[in-house]
A and B are shown apart, each in its own frame.
Chain A
Amino acid sequence: MTIITTSDATSSEDGEKRNTSSDRFRRIIAFPLRQPMLAASCGLLFAFSVLALASPWITGDPAALDPLGRLKAPSADQPFGTDQVGRSVLDRALWGTRVSLSVGISVAMVTTMIGVAIGVVAGYFRAIDTIAMRAMDAVMAIPAILLAIALVALIGASPFVIVTAIAVPEIPRMARVVRASVLTLRERAYVEAAITCGGRTTTILRRHILPGAAGPIMVQTTYVFASAMILESILSFLGAGTPPDVPSWGNMMSEGRQFLQIAPWILGFPALMLAATVLAANLMGDALRDMLDPSLQGGELR
């Protein structure tokens, strides 16, 4: 008796293995066609990451002044133009990618780790739920930007402080999403079955609860990643974020604001790059949600 399946994982025989590996290859080829949104957004983010990693080698010194070439409009020589002290906007914008992406990734990782831990504990252990979630509500009640500015003003603008300041207001959102998933997963029959088999609580959380919540967690992580990049730019724009000697999209826009009427490219290009990155991250989140949330009947990939 054989059951024909679409999964790769069913067979261990040699002939079928060869068959599944070519099957896998076909699936990779077909991936952009089936999930164009996901493929495009992943591709864009990947391109930005490559630019960020390679920028020390592909760009000139972003701090090099050229007093004679100030406020030059975009040209073949300077595709993004120059700013008020003659620095290349292109070089600075590419360097700014490093700040934005590294802050975005760090915040996403910190938020996910802490938020998932709090959410799982609050969702699974009823005794802790109320206390933990009311504490999260308290954190959520503080406007994110005010909290971030206060922290930076209090401790000073180091990368660690910036990441903390942006992550703290995002943690409650992650915790809520995770807690909501855990609350429903906890009541599943297979979780009960695992308990009746004498499973340790840690094993049950790790093997039965967390994998079930992976979809919402991934989606929320991409949203945190996007909003962290925006918050970092806001902080830099307000002068409370990245120090002025490090080029970031936020402080480039802040400086370019004064020359908006005569040299819009100083503000425009970093703003465009920020918009493109954030859009890509959000689209990736949307596509992931459509794909992973069975109630939306979005994708075929399961």
Chain B
Amino acid sequence: MNLPLLSVENLSVSLDAGAASVPLVRNVSFSIDRGETLCLVGESGCGKSLTALAIIGLLNREVMQVSSGRILFEGRDLISLGAGEMRRLRGDRIAIVFQEPMTSLNPVQRIGRQIAEVIVEHRGVSEADALKQVLRLLDLVRIPDAARRAQEFPHQLSGGMRQRVMIAMALALQPALLIADEPTTALDVTIQAQVLTLIDDLRREFDTSVLLITHDLGVVAEMADRVVVLYAGSVAEQADVDDLFDRPVHPYTRGLLGAIRQLNSGSRDRLAEIPGNVPNPVSLDAGCAFRKRCASAMPICHSERPPLQGDGLHRSACWLAKVGEEVMA
């Protein structure tokens, strides 16, 4: 049987607030196969980035911890790995690109040396040898005139170029998994498309799996093979990208899709929105986390949290789906 590259099983992350422990990510499960792109979608504060940080083992240990679950990467449980082993994985097998290309590069170091640092740290080669590989990497991420750019400082590069440099750094050792945490949020729209295309091309070229974290459904439609929609720290719905866009089940997913402007619709109406805000994780009770913003909330939504259900490919956590099944039956 073919094991997925990464499988996150029932991951919960909690915040230690004094004596109380507040769950921020609850029982999140998903898996990524080799060469696949999985998008993690949701509003701010729904636990997207926390999930990514948990995977690479960089949660702030003093206030946050993985309270349950497993993260299996190439057959090893990342949560039980020691700090040294985890460090050797980071940058080598798992790489991450953050959303702030403007501040993610050390302003006092030439970019060539910064990229070379990853290679030197993991492969123990000399810096001169690493710098030769850097030129190839800069070509790979389509930075023109690589030899000259490698000698420049980050302030001499535009935002899009810096993000390319970050991608070059992340892909320096051809990791099996690339985590991209809103990689295009800080960039101009035209540059966004270029950077996304670049990530997608490199994924195809190296058979890298991509975990793309975003709140932009346009990006999802463009990039994803499969989508996981998070709401208030739990999975609301997960499905193949086409299935999700064609047949959204969860009212939250429908709301997100409804909030996109259709260029060809000709409508001049106000954009649809989801009323209200993400609930405070401290105040979550036994009911469905979305019920207060949900137009089709039912009595059961107030008393019981809906389980994640459905077939293997399309699952959602909503009582509506359950009701639908019963009506059909």
Interface residues of A in 200-231 (CB under 8 A from B): 200, 203, 207-208, 211-212
Residues of A within 8 A of B (CB-CB), count:
26
Could you tell me the distance between the alpha carbons of A7 and B155 in the complex, rounded to whole angstroms? 11
Q: Is the CB of A190 within 8 A of B91?
A: no
Q: Which one of B33-41, B102-110, B218-226, B309-317 is at the A interface?
A: B102-110
Q: Which of B56, B87, B104, B153 contacts A189 (CB 8 A)?
A: B104
Q: A9 to chain B: closest CB distance in Å?
A: 6
Q: Which one of B8-16, B24-32, B93-101 is at the A interface?
A: B93-101
| Interface secondary structure of A, over-half rule | helix
Q: C-beta contact mask, A20-32 vs B, less than 8 Å → 1, else 0? A: 0000000000000
Complex contacts, B104 vs chain A, CB 8 Å? 189-190, 192-193
Residue of B nearest to A9 (CB): B151
Which 8 pairs from chain A and chain B are nearest by CB?
A: A198-B91, A197-B91, A198-B90, A189-B103, A193-B104, A190-B106, A189-B104, A197-B118
Q: C-beta contact mask, B129-156 vs A, less than 8 Å → 1, else 0? A: 0000000000000001101100111001
Answer whether residue B58 sits at the interface, using C-beta atoms and an 8 A cutoff.
Answer: yes
Q: Is the CB of B156 within 8 A of A198?
A: no
Residues of A within 8 A of B (CB): 1, 3, 5, 7, 9-12, 126, 188-190, 192-200, 203, 207-208, 211-212
Could you tell me the distance between the alpha carbons of A3 and B88 in the complex, rounded to whole angstroms? 37
Q: Is the CB of B117 within 8 A of A193?
A: no
Interface contacts beyond A12-B147, A196-B96: sample of 16 additional A-B pairs, CB < 8 Å, sorted by A: A3-B156, A9-B153, A10-B148, A10-B151, A10-B156, A12-B148, A189-B100, A189-B104, A193-B166, A195-B90, A197-B90, A197-B95, A197-B118, A199-B118, A203-B117, A208-B106
Complex contacts, B108 vs chain A, CB 8 Å? 211-212
Q: A163 to chain B: closest CB distance in Å?
A: 32
Q: A126 to chain B: closest CB distance in Å?
A: 7
Q: Which of A3, A12, A192, A208 contacts B98 (CB 8 A)?
A: A192
Q: Is the CB of A197 within 8 A of B103?
A: no
Could you tell me the distance between the alpha carbons of A188 and B144 in the complex, rounded to whole angstroms? 28
Complex contacts, A189 vs chain B, CB 8 Å? 98, 100, 103-104
Complex contacts, B76 vs chain A, CB 8 Å? none
Could you tell me the distance between the alpha carbons of A208 and B154 in the complex, rounded to whole angstroms? 14
Could you tell me the distance between the alpha carbons of A193 and B179 in the complex, rounded to whole angstroms? 12
Q: Is the CB of B96 within 8 A of A194?
A: no
Could you tell me the distance between the alpha carbons of A207 and B156 in the complex, rounded to whole angstroms? 20
Could you tell me the distance between the alpha carbons of A199 and B89 in the complex, rounded to whole angstroms? 10
A-B contact pairs, 21 of them (CB 8 A): A1-B144, A3-B156, A9-B151, A10-B148, A11-B148, A189-B100, A190-B103, A190-B107, A192-B98, A192-B104, A193-B98, A195-B58, A195-B90, A197-B91, A198-B90, A198-B92, A198-B122, A199-B117, A200-B121, A211-B108, A212-B108
Answer whether residue B230 sits at the interface, using C-beta atoms and an 8 A cutoff.
Answer: no
Q: Is the CB of A198 within 8 A of B152?
A: no
Q: Is the CB of A198 within 8 A of B148?
A: no
Residue of B nearest to A199 (CB): B121
Could you tell me the distance between the alpha carbons of A211 and B109 in the complex, rounded to whole angstroms? 9
Answer whether residue B235 sits at the interface, using C-beta atoms and an 8 A cutoff.
Answer: no
Answer whether residue B205 sits at the interface, using C-beta atoms and an 8 A cutoff.
Answer: no
Could you tell me the distance between the alpha carbons of A221 and B175 in the complex, rounded to whole angstroms? 44
Complex contacts, B152 vs chain A, CB 8 Å? 5, 9-10
Residue of B nearest to A188 (CB): B103
Residues of B within 8 A of A (CB-CB), count:
36
Residue of B nearest to A197 (CB): B91
Q: Which of A10, A11, A194 contacts B117 (CB 8 A)?
A: A194
Answer whether residue B326 sits at the interface, using C-beta atoms and an 8 A cutoff.
Answer: no
Complex contacts, B54 vs chain A, CB 8 Å? none
Could you tell me the distance between the alpha carbons of A212 and B107 in the complex, rounded to whole angstroms? 9
Answer whether residue B325 sits at the interface, using C-beta atoms and an 8 A cutoff.
Answer: no
Q: Is the CB of A190 within 8 A of B105?
A: yes
Q: Is the CB of A203 within 8 A of B121?
A: yes
Complex contacts, B109 vs chain A, CB 8 Å? 207, 211
Could you tell me the distance between the alpha carbons of A208 and B87 in the complex, rounded to whole angstroms? 17
Q: Is the CB of A197 within 8 A of B148?
A: no
Q: Is the CB of A198 within 8 A of B89?
A: yes
Q: B260 to chain A: closest CB distance in Å?
A: 30
Answer whether residue B269 sits at the interface, using C-beta atoms and an 8 A cutoff.
Answer: no
Could you tell me the distance between the alpha carbons of A127 and B193 in the complex, rounded to whole angstroms? 44
Answer whether residue B62 sits at the interface, using C-beta atoms and an 8 A cutoff.
Answer: yes
Could you tell me the distance between the alpha carbons of A11 and B98 in the complex, rounded to whole angstroms? 30
Q: B95 to chain A: closest CB distance in Å?
A: 7
Answer whether residue B169 sits at the interface, using C-beta atoms and an 8 A cutoff.
Answer: yes
Complex contacts, A3 vs chain B, CB 8 Å? 156
Residue of B nearest to A214 (CB): B108
Given A9-B110, A207-B106, A211-B108, answer yes or no on A197-B98 (Cβ-Cβ < 8 Å): no
Q: Which of A10, A126, A197 contacts B121 (CB 8 A)?
A: A197
Q: A1 to chain B: closest CB distance in Å?
A: 7
Could you tell me the distance between the alpha carbons of A199 and B172 in the complex, rounded to whole angstroms? 13
Residue of B nearest to A13 (CB): B148
Complex contacts, A203 vs chain B, CB 8 Å? 117, 121
Residue of B nearest to A201 (CB): B87
Q: Is the CB of A197 within 8 A of B117?
A: yes
Complex contacts, A11 vs chain B, CB 8 Å? 148
Complex contacts, B151 vs chain A, CB 8 Å? 9-10, 12
Residue of B nearest to A190 (CB): B106
Could you tell me the distance between the alpha carbons of A197 and B87 in the complex, rounded to whole angstroms? 8
Complex contacts, B90 vs chain A, CB 8 Å? 195-198
Tell me which of A9, A193, A196, A208 has the highest count of chain B C-beta atoms within 10 A of its own C-beta.
A196
Residue of A nearest to B107 (CB): A190
Complex contacts, A12 vs chain B, CB 8 Å? 147-148, 151
Q: B128 to chain A: closest CB distance in Å?
A: 15
